[in-house]
Structure 1
């Protein structure tokens, strides 16, 4: 049973907290141990990887897969919806909550970083205070490889973030965003849907022809 304490409550509230002061029962080691088990599981043992991932995350849908290796801080502060996929080397730095919707895909080496540190060096280094802000990723989002999402960011539904981008501010729904800092370069709509539906139809026709 998780025991609440001042520093832990401060952390989840997005306020300054002292990590060293968090009660032993609330520390992050349990999630790290599960991640270690996942990373040591043979890749062909898919069901064990899935079971351990469901144990590591705070909430999941039925259909998910996280390709090892995977890294978490707490693990239990991450929630994911249905049909979630994360490619290898993803990092969930969940000192605050990471809330992920349905049909979300993460490319390799995506980093979701809720943790932050004060800009004043004395508060950061002498007092050793830090903070964390939640990250929200809505339904149908795709984050390309090596994308970094910073504390407090929300990414709207159906959005695509280009590889290597650093997302420092909220990104609206139905967008393509790229760069450092990530900026919207295109809105997604009927034109893209028509294009990809046509490509799918051609694929299905070619597949059917190959089976004759």
Structure 2
């Protein structure tokens, strides 16, 4: 098993062997072109996203700058909005469900390193999949650690560090992130905390 195969299997691997640096460079060139697009070059950006990502749904918006390792390990569903300065370390599969929103400065880190300094010095690292469900909102500055899943419909508060799975339909926040409460039908009528909609088409 070579280092690329080890990476994709979730085993310790070295990222500087077996064609992995070349794959990253190829992706970085596409990312460079994407981030250099003028704001009105939406068609060019949409085309580049289909070349960068492993799966790109309909009506996907990623505001540059955007960074990722390989791109092809990222699967994004329909109607996804990702705000400025998103970083996705996709040495393992990263999945983002339909109708999900990211605030600015979100980081999905499917990559990790050994805790012990001597093991870390060896150059071995690892990856573990990250899964973001449908209808999720990640607030500004959220960091999601390797191997974490966030359930459908949940909201993660700004600045949270998500180290463990989050169930569907909850508000969670903090560092480390923890569930604060369930999202209920009473929340449907409010746009922010207890402020109620003054329109009928929400």
Structure (1 or 2) with the greater strand fraction: 2
TM over 0.5: yes
The separation in 2 between residues aligned to 1:22 and 1:75, in whole angstroms, is 18
Please give the residue correspondences for 1:104-183 in structure 2 after superposition, counting only pairs within 5 Å: 104-125=100-121, 127-183=122-178
State the structure with more CA Rg: 1
The separation in 1 between residues aligned to 2:13 and 2:169, in whole angstroms, is 36
> What TM-score does the superposition give when structure 2 sets the normalisation length?
0.92
The separation in 2 between residues aligned to 1:24 and 1:154, in whole angstroms, is 26
Aligned residues: 198
The one of 6, 21, 28 aligned to 1:32: 28
Are the aligned partners of 1:155 and 1:171 in contact in 2 as well (CA < 8 Å)?
A: yes
The one of 87, 91, 94 aligned to 2:90: 94
Are the aligned partners of 2:166 and 2:179 in contact in 1 as well (CA < 8 Å)?
A: yes
Are the aligned partners of 1:107 and 1:146 in contact in 2 as well (CA < 8 Å)?
A: yes
Please give the residue correspondences for 1:52-63 in structure 2 after superposition, counting only pairs within 5 Å: 52-63=48-59
**Distance change (3 Å), C-alpha of 1:25 and 1:109:** closer
Structure (1 or 2) with the greater helix fraction: 1
The separation in 2 between residues aligned to 1:185 and 1:31, in whole angstroms, is 38
What stretches of structure 2 of length at least 5 have no aligned partner? none
Instruction: Please say which of residues 22-31 and 42-51 is displaced more in the overlay.
Output: 22-31
The separation in 2 between residues aligned to 1:48 and 1:134, in whole angstroms, is 29
